[in-house]
Amino acid sequence: DDSATRGLWALQHCMLVMEHTTFCCTPNVKFLSNLPVADVEGGNSAAKKKKFAVVAADVLSRLIAARDGWGNRVHPCLRATMAVLMNLTHSNAECAQTLATCGLCESVAGLLHALCFPSAAPEGASLRQRVVASLEVISLALGLLINLVEGAEQCK
């Protein structure tokens, strides 16, 4: 569907901007992680506000859930969204604790398991081939999990 593809393209590019904005820039991380934005579910101006980091975690959970149905089109969005969340949680225990309460640790761990041990492996693809194909997302997922475990006691 063209509108879904355009939406994924827009999400990926927005997250790439956020990734570069938050990389090694503590003031931007502090500002963005607490920035109130409209909830993903809210379609009107009176929608409940959530912190940007929580909305980004919600988006990541939705991308993870939709991964099987969308295939490779979701992969760049997963990568960009995880990079943003990894930047936001790096040396930021407050953000890590907030995201831990959203179930982000469990979602990312589930993604890692699905990437390394898919239920429907491509014909003739070894575990090594599957891992190499998803190496960047796997690396980002591990980095995000490390940040969550370091910053949130409940993720340990």
pTM recorded for the entire structure: 0.87
pLDDT tens for 28-46 read 999 999 999 987 565 555 5
What's the start-to-end Cα distance of the chain, in Å? 40
Count of domains forming the chain: 1
Q: How does pLDDT run across 52-77, given as a tens digit for each residue?
A: 999 999 999 999 988 876 667 788 99
Print the domain residue range for 142. 1-154
Q: What is the pLDDT of residue 58?
A: 93
Mean pLDDT of 77-85: 95
Q: Assess whether pLDDT exceeds 80 at residue 104.
A: yes
Whether residue 99 has pLDDT greater than 80 = yes
Secondary structure (3-state) at 37: strand
**Confidence check: pLDDT of 150 > 90:** yes
Question: How much of the chain, in percent, has pLDDT values that exceed 70?
Answer: 86
* 11-14: long-range contacts, CB 8 A cutoff, minimum separation 24: 11/59, 11/77, 11/80, 11/81, 12/76, 12/77, 12/80
